[in-house]
Every structure is written in structure tokens, then in C-alpha cells.
Amino acid sequence: MHTLTRAVRAALILAAAMIVPVMIGTAPAYAASWQVVASPNSTGNDGLAAVTSFSPSNVWAVGQAYSLSSTSSTLIEQYNGSTWRIVPSPNAAGGRYNSLNGVAGTSASDIWAVGYDLSSRSHTHPLTEHYNGSAWSVVPAPQVAQMDGLAGVTPVSPTNVWAVGGGNTGTGITPPLVEHYDGTAWSVVPTSLTTAGWLNAVTAISAANVWAVGHVPGAGLVMHYDGTSWTQVAVPAPSPSTSWELTAVAATSASDVWAVGDASSGSAQHAIVEHFNGTSWSVTEAPDQSGFPLNAFVGVAAVSPTSVWAIGSSSPGNATSTPLVEHFDGTSWTVQPAPGMAGRSLSLAGLTSTSAGQLWAVGGSYATGSTNSQTLTARYS
């Protein structure tokens, strides 16, 4: 089965850090709920990995579509306020597999999507695509390693865009991949981390304040750009944990930055949250969904300092899973009702909030006993 993922997992034993207590509680005190909204599929095995919004009537999601000939193509969809539609998107020349993993923009006529294309079993290339308000086009991006890919993108302005990911030489993970677009071309930007690492997501607060998260072998990774250089920032590790990683990041201000992921310990896996208050990072183990020993976050949306949402999945320990949705109200994290579809297993991958306070989550849904995915879009309003 093909799965949508933004991380490569590894294992090392980590030092312990203090866990901030949290509680399982009730839903926020406002009338809203999740509803699955119908979305189109171009093949019989499609999925969405990321979503961004500019208004309640202009939401974009990206992912991939698999064909019966064992190839895949980019998949881009737009919501116009009433329905989702597939928008034509290009693929890399010579790429047998094409996938988009991240999407963000400065306006409705300046949107970037990033991912990778696979030309052979041993060669992948970064894939960057741009929407100018009329059509999507491939913009060449440099390659560093034998197998490079991009997982997240964030624009500061139309001439200042960051994308992150990682690579593999075939014998091991390379240092994190950071690329920058200056309005004319993409270029690789070095970081302070010269050993193995992978970046899953990135968010920009300003031109001199950009955060990216991911993992090094066995541990979470946080990197920061101060307007001059990218450096690794120390963050506390969850305890107990044998391995952990960070998968998504969002911020409301320079003193309110959120990163989410998961930590493994023995046969259990817990969703975790890291928070930066402008001075230091602290770690929180979010509550597990009752009856599920495996829990992980893959997306986060910071609406305000007192309203932060995280999505992911929970599993009883076999191949099945159920969506995990949690909310922070300024005091504690609580498990919330999640979207559902009768007879189908749902997998959430991306999350965004609109200017009207709505949330959109995207991913894939699977029929019971099937390995083929269909696109999933769900709205909270």
C-alpha cells in the first residue's frame, strides 16, 4: 500500500526531559463539528498530503495520484466555496513518480507546491511548482544528493520563499536540504547541521525569523533562520522515549511557535507538542485517544495563542487507524471528535485554518479491506 508520509524514522536512545501535564477534556465551547466534504479523484488510488487557504472560498490541497501502470502524477485540487475540483498540474520531465508534499502562498496568484519526482529506483529530485493565478508550472530546483526531496514550503514574500526536505545517498540520510527562491531561481542554502537529518516542515514569521522541524536519527530536530544563517536549536526530548520526531510547525507570533510530532517508547507511541515562548522550548505529551496505544501528530494550525489544533492518527497496534484531532485552549490539550466515514478508514495529513475561523484537513480514505486510497477533505465549521 502506498502511504503519504513526510518523515523517515530512525532510532537512537535519547536523554529525558520534563513532561508538561495535560488533560483529556471536552470540546471547545463553540458550536462546530467536522464534516467530510466530497472531493474528486483522478485515478483509483489518490491521496492529499497538504492544504493551505486564502479565504473560505479559496482553499488548495496537493498530493499524488497513482495510475494502474505503477506510476504517479501530481495532484492539485481547489475548493471554491462550494465544491472541490481538480486543477491541471504538471509533472517533472522523465519522472516516473511525482508527488507533492507541501503547499503555501502569499496570495491567490502566488502559490508554491513542493515534493519530489522519482526517475528511477535510485534517483529522486526536488520538485517545485508555482501557480501565478492562471496555471501551475514546474520551476527548476537544484539537487544535492542522489535522492533528494522537499517536504514543506513557506513564503515570506513573492521574492523570498523557503523549502525544506532531505536526501539519501543510497547508503544513508544526508544533511537536511534547505532551498531558497529569490524571485528568479531556487538555490541550496547551507545549514549548521552537516550530519544526517531531515526537515519535514517550515514556517516563516518574518524574513529574519523562520523555523523548520524534522528529525536526526532517533531524535527531533529544530532549525532556525535569523536572517543570516540556519542553525540547529536545542529542544527538550520527551520522556520516556527511545525515538521521536517533529512533523509540522506553525506560529502566531515570534513568541508563540508550535511544533508537533510523536515519540516512541517500547510498544507505545505518543503524540507530542513542542512550544516556543520567545525564549525557550518546552515539551508536552498530548493525551492519547482512549484505547489506542499508537498516537502521532502530522499537522498543526495555530489560530491564536488560545486556539491551536493538531491532527494525526491513532492505531490499536495493527494496520487499521483512526483520525486523531486535538485542541489547545490556552491551558491544556484535549482530544476532540474527529471526522468519520462509515465503512472507511481515514488518514489525515494536512491542516489549515481560514480567515473565517474554519479548519480544513486533508488526507486519504480507505475502504475496509482495500489498499487503494481516495482523497479526503474535511471541514470544521
Q: What DSSP string describes 221-270?
A: EEEEE-SS-EEEE--PPPSS-SEEEEEEEEEEETTEEEEEEEEEETTEEE
What local confidence, expressed as pLDDT, does residue 26 receive? 38
**What's the CATH number where 324 sits?**
2.130.10.10
* Cα gap 49→339, rounded to integer Å: 17
Say if 2 falls within a structural domain. no
CA distance 215 to 198: 5
Q: What is the mean pLDDT of residues 193-204?
A: 97
More confident: 227 or 346: 227
CA dist 281 to 18, 53, 236, Å?
11, 28, 7
Q: In the sheet that 219-225 helps form, which strands lie side by side, from edge to edge? A: 198-206, 209-216, 219-225, 230-233
- How large is the average pLDDT for residues 221-237? 98
153-167, 283-297, 313-327, range with the lowest pLDDT: 313-327
Percent of the chain with pLDDT over 90: 77
- 19 occurs within a structural domain: no
Q: 21 lies in a domain?
A: no
Domain assignment of residue 265, yes or no: yes
Rounded distance between C-alpha atoms, residue 167 and residue 196, angstroms:
9
pLDDT band at 31 (very low <50, low <70, confident <90, very high): low
pLDDT tens across 246-278, in order?
Answer: 999 999 999 999 999 999 999 999 999 999 999
Residue with cell 522541524: 213
Number of domains in the chain: 1
Determine the Cα–Cα distance for residues 160 and 104; give it in Å rounded to an integer. Answer: 13
Q: Does a structural domain hold residue 335?
A: yes
In a domain, 9, yes or no: no
DSSP string of 163-175? EEEEEE-SSSB-S
In a domain, 216, yes or no: yes
Gyration radius of the chain's alpha carbons: 19
Q: Report residue 139's pLDDT band, with 50, 70 and 90 as the boundaries.
A: very high
Evaluate whether 249 touches 211 at the Cβ level (below 8 Å): yes
Write out pLDDT tens, residues 45-86. Answer: 999 999 999 999 999 999 999 986 678 999 999 999 999 999
Determine the structural domain holding residue 148 and report its residue range.
Answer: 34-380
- 1: pLDDT strictly greater than 60: no
At 306, phi and psi to the nearest 5?
-110, 15
Q: What does the pLDDT read at residue 221?
A: 98
**Is there a domain that residue 93 lies in?**
yes
| Distance, CA of 274 to chain centre | 15
Would you say residue 20 has pLDDT above 70? no
Does residue 207 or residue 8 have the better pLDDT?
207
Confidence check: pLDDT of 319 > 80: no
Within 13 Å of residue 114, how many CA atoms lie on the same side as its CB?
A: 31
